Homo-oligomer: A and B are copies of this chain.
Amino acid sequence: MKKLEDLQEIISDAVNKLSFPIYPAALYEPISYILSLGGKRMRPALLLMACDLFGGDVDAAISPALAIEVFHNFTLMHDDIMDNAPLRRGNTTVHERWNNNAAILSGDVMLVEGYKLMMQVEDRLLRPILDIFNTTAVGVCEGQQLDMEFEVLDHVNIDEYVNMIRLKTAVVLGGALKIGALIGGADVKDAELLSSFGEHLGLAFQLQDDILDVYGEPEKFGKQVGGDIISNKKTYLLIKAKELADPRQTADLNHWIALKQFNNIEKVEAVTAIYNSLNIRQHAEDAMQTYADKAFEALDAISLPEEHKQYLRDFADGLLVREN
């Protein structure tokens, strides 16, 4: 089994070697630019890992892995327009550096380039793999739509939230693993189990992210503690808190959410106190554990040598680190 870092390295090298036409420059430069901003290349590395797990030739999976990375960056390019984001990985976003039109159109051609890369598979796998890619792509668009809608909705319930993060982030992880597994020679059943592993792990990881925003150690976490609270982001924690709050706690929460001018530390402390009184952290960790369990259940059912499963368990344990 190849190490995850080595697979990420293979992807980084392959991304660096990707070349696009030079004319029209304004169409293709934003693609090279956003791809050059780096990132962990986790999605394509997972695709390679899945291929490797089933004894496949990792080289044969590089183009489809690049497809997943190009697709992911297409979604980032368009999401950044929609979210009005000035920065991406510490660099100017495409729509800020060029303009909205360039970001729309370069994103469009990037999606097509993603398909071109994804098609670089054996004929017998072309249709099943493109079916997965289509499903993944539709899911991500639906997830982004729901994410934008939820921002302006008063009430979102837990099921809706989980469905949104599943579509927006978990589905791609599952899709990447499933495609890699098929290229590696897995049968459909095992590929689907691995996909289920990835999707549930993605959900658990996203819930962990919500928890760490409030309860993580800032040094390890690398973000401002309570960023989600400050911005009123509808996380699992906030949605669950609204669900469980008594009238006084509800009034308290709504007060902080409505407040236009506030001291950040004060707001984070006040909302965290409400979360604590409702035992929200435990609720969120239970939910996270439920998804992690489902991931491991799917993993157990895959027909793979025990050491390969252990590799995946170690990978999952590495992702789901307890910070406190």
Interface residues of A (CB under 8 A from B): 21, 23-24, 26-27, 78, 81-82, 100-101, 104-105, 107-109, 111-113, 115-116, 119, 123, 126-127, 130-131, 134, 137-138, 141-142, 144-146, 148-149
Sample (22) of A-B pairs whose CB atoms are under 8 Å apart: A21-B142, A24-B149, A27-B142, A78-B104, A78-B108, A81-B101, A81-B104, A82-B105, A100-B100, A105-B145, A105-B148, A108-B108, A109-B142, A111-B111, A112-B137, A112-B138, A115-B115, A115-B130, A115-B134, A119-B130, A123-B123, A123-B127
Known: A24-B146, A145-B26. A105 touches B78 (CB 8 A): yes
**7 closest residue pairs by CB, A with B:** A109-B141, A27-B145, A82-B101, A24-B145, A112-B137, A116-B134, A108-B141
Centre residue among A23, A27, A107, A126 by max chain B CB count within 10 A = A27
> Please, how many angstroms separate the alpha-carbon atoms of A142 and B105 in the complex?
9
B126 touches A112 (CB 8 A): no
With a CB–CB cut-off of 8 A, which chain B residues contact A144? 105
Chain B residues near A119 (CB, 8 Å)? 127, 130-131, 134
A141 to chain B, nearest CB (A): 4
User: Which chain B positions have C-beta within 8 A of A142?
Assistant: 21, 23-24, 27, 109
Q: Give complex CA distance A145, B108 in Å.
A: 11
Contact A26 B141 (CB under 8 A): no
A111 and B108 form a contact (CB under 8 A): yes
Contact assessment for A134 and B105 in the assembled complex, using a CB-CB cutoff below 8 Å: no
Cα(A145)–Cα(B21), bound, Å: 13
Q: How far is the CA of A137 from the CA of B21 in the complex (A)?
A: 14
A138 touches B123 (CB 8 A): no
Partner pick for A101 among B101, B109, B137, B148, CB 8 A cutoff = B148
User: Which among B108, B111, B126 is the interface contact of A127 at CB below 8 angstroms?
Assistant: B126
On whether the beta carbons of B26 and A105 are closer than 8 Å, the reply is no
Task: Please indicate the chain B residues that have their CB under 8 angstroms from the CB of A100 in the complex.
Answer: 81-82, 100
In Å, the complex CA distance between A144 and B26 comes to 11
Q: Is the CB of A134 within 8 A of B108?
A: no
Residues of chain B with a CB closer than 8 A to A108's CB: 78, 107-108, 111, 141
A301 to chain B, nearest CB (A): 30
Q: Which residues of B lie under 8 Å from residue A116 when comparing CB positions?
A: 134
Partner of A27, one of B113, B130, B141: B141
Shortest beta-carbon distance, A238 to chain B, in Å? Answer: 21
A70 to B74 CA separation, bound complex (whole angstroms)? 20
Question: Smallest CB-CB separation from A121: which chain B residue?
Answer: B127
Q: Most chain-B Cβ atoms within 10 A of its Cβ — which of A78, A105, A127, A148?
A: A105
